[in-house]
């Protein structure tokens, strides 16, 4: 006691940590609950897709076979590369071939007829009202096959040509939405630059007409940019939730085409939006690292959930054996044209990109020139530390090459579409340096005083004063362009 007053005991270090621990546990709990709920929604949508009868789908595909618009595999995309028509045939045949299962069982097993070469004959057999032998119908439960919620009704009502039109509309709409949403929260010019190398130095624009399944996967990638941009502008907690949803959505729609692209895009977007809000390197680094970790966790959780659901219906041993054999093959299995060893997958994709895409070298040179100019502008406007910040914002691009090496077999066999990771990483590089060049040296005072901590998720009660300087205002560099 001092002066007749009792001093309050100081809180222990454990006491100070408990609120943080409780908050962390609460966030983890919310993530698990939300992730489980999302898987339930995903499976419910699969069931809805299986409610569409097979007969009109088969009739539409029989017309495509007779008109020679179904397959064949490996046709030129007329942009310098090869179209993934093989996967397109697989996608339209997913859900067909099984007549002795109810919609729930079909959603779990996900029956699938063969690819282009054998699939055309199977389609004509089904169109005649005949059943396929059981050994000609495979289970496709190693993937979610979430595209069936779109492909089956569109095929049934409108046919294969209309499905290609729908995929093109989704690709265009999500691309515009991604640039608009990201640009409204960072810089419009930088946001456009994120996607331009992918559009101008790959066969992206050919996918709706030659391999619409790829167009659907890329649309999911662009939708992920929209989700992450919006969520990251709220708080770090919202950003991680957005990354989790975008990763789950891609896993749901995709067939293991280019997971590295949405991974690096989501990470770069969260970091860029955070830096635009705060201009703080530490908060940006925390947000970027958290997003980089969250994406593969959510992606893996979604994929494993699919296998768990399959195991409930098909048995644990059958599911585990099937999945294990596929994982071992994709990571290091032998195949014609596959050379095991560090660096070979990256070299294969680089060689394909530079030798098959006629615009690759030109786009690469232009992008590097833009990056150099952006570094100079950032240095002059805000100092050398700001210029170096672009390296941090673009660091996620390295995950493209990490993915190539991790799934060596897949990256070499499918280099004709996995190469898109290279122009995607190039887009992140240009986006990052254009962003740091266009942001002001400091945030306006009103913005700083009313800033929301990145992890709080709560808005300030104090009104934000009007200011003539906005960190997202058009920069001199952007207006000149």
In a domain, 219, yes or no: yes
In a domain, 88, yes or no: yes
Residues 217 and 198 in one domain: yes
3-state SS class at 123: helix
Give the integer Cα–Cα distance in Å for 309 and 44: 12
327 vs 62 pLDDT, higher one: 62
Percent of the chain with pLDDT over 90: 77
8 Å CB contact between 194 and 281 = no
In a domain, 21, yes or no: no
Q: What is the mean pLDDT of residues 456-473?
A: 40
Residues 70 and 184 in one domain: no
Residues 139 and 183 in one domain: no
Residues 404 and 439 in one domain: yes
Give the integer Cα–Cα distance in Å for 94 and 137: 10
Residues 74 and 92 in one domain: yes
**Above 90 in pLDDT, residue 23?**
no
Domain boundary residue, one of 158, 185, 214? 158
> Which pLDDT score, from 0 to 100, does residue 323 have?
80
In a domain, 206, yes or no: yes
Categorize the per-residue pLDDT at 80 as very low, low, confident or very high, splitting at 50, 70 and 90: very high
pLDDT in tens, 187-200: 999 999 999 999 99
In a domain, 472, yes or no: no
122-142: buried (b, 16+ CB within 10 Å) or exposed (e) per residue?
bbebbbeeeebeeeebbbbbb
Neighbours of 401 (CB within 10 A): 19
Residues 349 and 382 in one domain: yes
What are the phi and psi torsion angles at 233 (to 5°)? -75, -10
8 Å CB contact between 90 and 214 = no
Tokens of 27: 């966030």
Tokens of 192: 């456009």
Residues 171 and 130 in one domain: no
Percent of the chain with pLDDT over 70: 87
Categorize the per-residue pLDDT at 10 as very low, low, confident or very high, splitting at 50, 70 and 90: low
- Is omega for the bond preceding 334 within 30 degrees of 0, making it cis? no
In a domain, 369, yes or no: yes
> Which pLDDT score, from 0 to 100, does residue 476 have?
39
Neighbours of 340 (CB within 10 A): 12
Q: Which of 440, 468, 477, 453 is nearest to 276 (CA)?
A: 440
Residues 282 and 413 in one domain: yes
> Which pLDDT score, from 0 to 100, does residue 30 have?
87
> Which pLDDT score, from 0 to 100, does residue 6 have?
57
In a domain, 188, yes or no: yes
Tokens of 77: 């995309």
> Which pLDDT score, from 0 to 100, does residue 477 have?
40
8 Å CB contact between 408 and 338 = yes
Residues 108 and 179 in one domain: no
Could you tell me the residue range of the domain that residue 105 belongs to?
42-158
Categorize the per-residue pLDDT at 455 as very low, low, confident or very high, splitting at 50, 70 and 90: very low
Domain boundary residue, one of 141, 158, 175? 158
Looking at the DSSP bridge assignments, the partners of residue 138 are: 112
Give the integer Cα–Cα distance in Å for 422 and 361: 12
Q: What is the mean pLDDT of residues 61-90?
A: 95
Residues 120 and 187 in one domain: no
Give the integer Cα–Cα distance in Å for 90 and 151: 12
Residues 101 and 229 in one domain: no
In a domain, 237, yes or no: yes
pLDDT in tens, 378-422: 999 999 999 999 999 999 999 999 999 999 999 999 999 999 999
Residues 188 and 120 in one domain: no
How many structural domains does the chain have?
2
What's the mean per-residue pLDDT of the chain? Answer: 89
For the chain, give percent helix, strand, coil, nearest 5: 70, 0, 25
Q: Which of 1, 19, 21, 17 is nearest to 9 (CA)?
A: 1
**Helix 281-314 and helix 236-253: axis angle, to 10°?**
40
């Amino acid at each position: 006691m001092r002066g007749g007053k009792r001093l309050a005991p100081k809180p222990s270090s454990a006491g100070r940590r408990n609120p943080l621990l409780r908050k962390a546990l609460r966030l983890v709990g919310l993530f698990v609950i939300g992730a489980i709920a999302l898987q339930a929604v995903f499976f419910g949508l699969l069931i809805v897709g299986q409610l569409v009868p097979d007969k009109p789908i088969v009739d539409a595909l029989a017309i495509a076979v007779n008109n020679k618009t179904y397959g064949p595999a490996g046709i030129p995309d007329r942009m310098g590369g090869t179209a993934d028509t093989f996967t397109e045939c697989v996608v339209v045949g997913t859900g067909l071939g099984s007549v002795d299962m109810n919609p729930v069982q079909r959603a779990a097993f996900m029956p699938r007829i063969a690819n282009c070469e054998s699939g055309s004959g199977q389609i004509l057999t089904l169109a005649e009202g005949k059943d396929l032998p059981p050994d000609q119908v495979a289970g496709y439960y190693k993937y979610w096959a979430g595209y069936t919620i779109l492909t089956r009704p569109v095929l049934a009502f409108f046919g294969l040509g209309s499905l290609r039109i729908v995929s093109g509309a989704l690709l265009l709409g999500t691309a515009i939405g991604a640039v608009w949403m990201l640009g409204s929260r960072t810089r419009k010019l930088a946001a456009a630059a994120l996607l331009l190398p992918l559009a101008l130095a790959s066969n992206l624009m050919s996918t709706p007409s030659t391999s619409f399944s790829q167009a659907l996967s890329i649309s999911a990638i662009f939708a992920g940019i929209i989700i992450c941009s919006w969520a990251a502008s709220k708080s770090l907690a919202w950003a991680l939730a957005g990354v989790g949803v975008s990763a789950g959505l891609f896993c749901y729609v995709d067939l293991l085409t280019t997971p590295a692209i949405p991974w690096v895009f989501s990470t770069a977007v969260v970091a860029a939006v955070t830096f635009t809000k705060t201009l703080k390197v530490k908060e940006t680094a925390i947000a970027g690292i958290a997003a980089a970790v969250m994406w593969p966790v959510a992606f893996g959780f979604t994929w494993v959930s699919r296998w768990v659901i399959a195991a409930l219906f098909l048995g644990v041993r059958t599911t585990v054996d099937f999945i294990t054999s596929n994982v071992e093959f994709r990571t290091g299995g032998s195949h014609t044209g596959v050379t095991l060893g560090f660096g070979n997958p990256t070299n294969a994709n680089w060689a394909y990109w530079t030798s098959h895409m006629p615009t690759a070298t030109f786009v690469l040179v232009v992008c590097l020139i833009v990056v150099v100019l952006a570094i100079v502008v950032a240095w002059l406007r805000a100092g050398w530390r700001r210029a170096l910040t672009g390296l941090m914002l673009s660091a996620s691009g390295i995950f493209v090459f990490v993915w190539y090496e991790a799934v060596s077999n897949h990256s070499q066999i499918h280099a004709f579409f996995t190469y898109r990771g290279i122009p995607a990483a190039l887009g992140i590089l240009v986006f990052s340096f254009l962003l740091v060049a266009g942001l002001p040296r400091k945030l306006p005072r009103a913005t700083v005083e009313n800033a929301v901590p990145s992890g709080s998720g709560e808005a300030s009660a104090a009104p934000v004063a009007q200011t003539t300087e906005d960190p997202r205002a058009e920069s001199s560099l952007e207006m000149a362009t």
